[in-house]
Chain A
Amino acid sequence: MKSAVVLLPGLNRDRDMIAALTKISGHAPATVWQTDTVIPDVDLIVIPGGFSYGDYLRCGAIAARTPVMRAVAEKAAQGVMVMGVCNGFQILLETGLLPGALMRNASLKFVCREVKLEVANANTAFTRAYEPGQIIRCPVAHHDGNYFADPETLARIEGNGQVVFRYAEGTNPNGSINNIAGVMNEAGNVLGLMPHPENLIEAAHGGSDGRALFEGVLGIAA
């Protein structure tokens, strides 16, 4: 399975993401830059975390209007899998590929710690290597991860099973509505999440709970 990683000025988790994809799939992902209008023929496009364009205007707002993101949106419409982590999640929301918005953490503080995540929907192309309701460990590091959606949107995504990850009881680090940590689109090929599964894939990280997400999305049996 071939993958590509989107590079934008100000992202800083791109190397971690490339390392995770390379180690788990056995192949280095292609990389695409902000001005690229063509994305190579891949099965998975990943937008890593960081602070693209200095978080100017709103997190992910400027990145969402770049040529490369227009190309990502076209690929997503064709059914290519797209995953955004942290700033990548914010960018996918600003692009309109995912429902809702991410706001400043309710605590107003940057949070950098480990949380527990519940796999709220294991019946997705992304989470199929997890058990339904499985609780996993995962690091978070963000200032704007407070998920919000209006009541109608919230009811719709909850009803459709589009809430893929939730912060487990008592570990919500940012005030997200319904403890939402990750959502996917209705078609099921675009996922965004605030936590960093790429930073918990091997013993050197202190655990490998994030690995199954990559194994699922890359179609690799655990």
Chain B
Amino acid sequence: MIKARVTVTLKTGVLDPQGKAIEGALGTLGFAGVGHVRQGKVFDIELDGSDKAKAEADLKAMCEKLLANTVIENYSVTLI
């Protein structure tokens, strides 16, 4: 079995009001020196088989078709 981690983040230039709110809350908690915070998503996915090249290709297709909205989000795939 192959385990993978997919990370989806907002593209640069896309407004992230939730990240901004988290940024403010960290400041309120007294963490000094916190710069920009951007919120994203993480998907841990298990795949049958051992063909890593196929797994990477499948995961990329999953990102393009469902996991990320490529209008506003970037994604990265890591096999773990």
Contacts and interface: CB of A to CB of B under 8 A. Distances in A.
A104 interface: yes
Given A94-B69, A101-B71, A103-B72, A148 B18 contact: no
What bracket does the count of chain A residues touching chain B fall in? 10 to 19
Contacts of B69: 58, 61, 94, 101
Given A57-B67, A101-B69, A150-B13, 10 more contacts: A57-B66, A58-B69, A61-B69, A65-B65, A93-B71, A100-B71, A103-B72, A105-B17, A108-B18, A148-B71
Interface in A78-115: 93-94, 100-101, 103-108
A104 B71 contact: no
A139 interface: no
29 contacts: A57-B66, A57-B67, A61-B66, A93-B71, A94-B69, A100-B71, A101-B69, A101-B71, A101-B72, A103-B14, A103-B15, A103-B17, A103-B72, A104-B17, A104-B18, A105-B17, A106-B15, A106-B17, A107-B17, A108-B17, A108-B18, A108-B21, A146-B15, A146-B17, A148-B15, A148-B72, A149-B71, A150-B13, A150-B71
Contacts of B66: 57, 61, 65
Nearest to A64: B66
Contacts of A101: 69, 71-72
Interface of B: 13-15, 17-18, 21, 65-67, 69, 71-72
Contacts of B21: 108
Contacts of A146: 15, 17
B62 to A, nearest CB: 11
Nearest to A96: B71
Given A61-B66, A101-B72, A103-B72, A148 B14 contact: yes
Contacts of B14: 103, 148
